[in-house]
Amino acid sequence: MGYSIAIDAMGGDGAPQVVFDGIAEFIKTHPDTKANFLVFGQENLVKPFLIPSLAKHVTIHNAEEVVTGETKPAAAVRMGRKTSMAMAIDAVNNGMAEAVVSAGNTGAFMALSKIILKTFEGIDRPAIPALIPSDKGCTLVLDLGANIECSAENLVQFAVMGSVYMRTLMNIAEPSVGILNVGSEDLKGNQVVQAAANFLRDHPLVNFYGFVEGDDITKATVDVVVTDGFTGNIVLKAIEGTVRLFARQLKKSLSENVLSKLGALIAQPSLASFKRFVDPRLYNGAMFLGLRKIVIKSHGGTDGVGFATAIKVADELVQRNVILDLQAGLEGIQ
């Protein structure tokens, strides 16, 4: 049976071009997809991008207004359900679509999603999680930017959500959870991480490891790393930047002289397996974890390939019925 994914055509640096490129790319790489796309945007701006090959997968819905990168979250909420972003979210709320994807303003997208779709019981604020490559495969880190300032209670809720995510989506039996800090000793850090650690030490739903440090993310010391959205966002981008610097330097190293070029040529197939790790477009698409529906945020600066990856994340989460699993994990135990 088919299903629909709602798309905000007006969000992101390259909208609406990049959004349509992304839909086209997704359809090309997933020819058997059962997904249709409800695309929300200013009709006169969006229509020209509806090329014939897309027409049978895409329906366009006119939105009078647009949330820009400069719109404050409260202002986006006041604009009501006239913006392409709010209309796309509303399509999920009223059952027209199973998931919504936007590359627009993160704060506005979060505020609107929270108001229209609501959070699970016991969760005050959604968080953005990401799976970061590590020696064991990957570590779930959250929050990556949805909540700039967090209370100890927020961090505790992130720990619970991260545990449920790794248990239900990654099949890890008792995921261990660490709080990101400047040292692993119990005395380290500020009051928020101290208080959160105190709550988690006796928490019935969380297998709490204790504090972890920045390098524990890639060392896979724990399955889930919890932090506030300020630190998390900066750390994620610093890791991405480091990987890209490393890749550039390596490329330079391997093209220094004839001998190293030959070496690079011979090692090519092995290095190719490495490249995936370096392409941030292949990691695009972050879920707002804690909402009652599937809401996917794409990087604002991505291209069509990146936006297609965000659609793929939405599509997979729809197919895996992730919301039912999360709800069972989070609310089944209240």
Say whether residue 137 binds a copy of itself (CB under 8 A).
no
Say whether residue 276 binds a copy of itself (CB under 8 A).
no
Q: How many CB atoms lie within 10 A of CB 214?
A: 16
Helix count and strand count (H, E) for the chain: 13, 11
Strand partners, 225: 141, 178
End-to-end Cα distance, the chain: 33
The CB-of-72 to a copy of itself minimum distance in angstroms stands at 7
Rounded CA gap, 281 and 106, in Å? 18
Binding string to a copy of itself for residues 210 to 249, with x set by CB under 8 A, is what? ---xxxxxxx-------x-xxx-xxxxxxxxxxxxxx-xx
Among 51, 96, 262, 333, binds a copy of itself (CB under 8 A): 262
Tell me the window of 8-16, 64-72, 120-128, 168-176 that interacts with a copy of itself (CB under 8 A). 64-72
Rounded CA gap, 264 and 252, in Å? 11
DSSP β-ladder status, 286-287 and 294-297 = antiparallel
| Structure tokens that stand for 294 in this block | 């599937």
| Structure tokens that stand for 156 in this block | 């505790």
Say whether residue 257 binds a copy of itself (CB under 8 A).
yes
The CB-of-282 to a copy of itself minimum distance in angstroms stands at 16
Tell me the window of 7-15, 53-61, 77-85, 257-265 that interacts with a copy of itself (CB under 8 A). 257-265
Note the residues at the interface with a copy of itself (CB under 8 A).
Answer: 69-70, 72, 133-135, 145, 148-149, 180-182, 185, 187, 189-190, 213-219, 227, 229-231, 233-246, 248-250, 253-254, 256-257, 259-260, 262-271, 273-274, 277
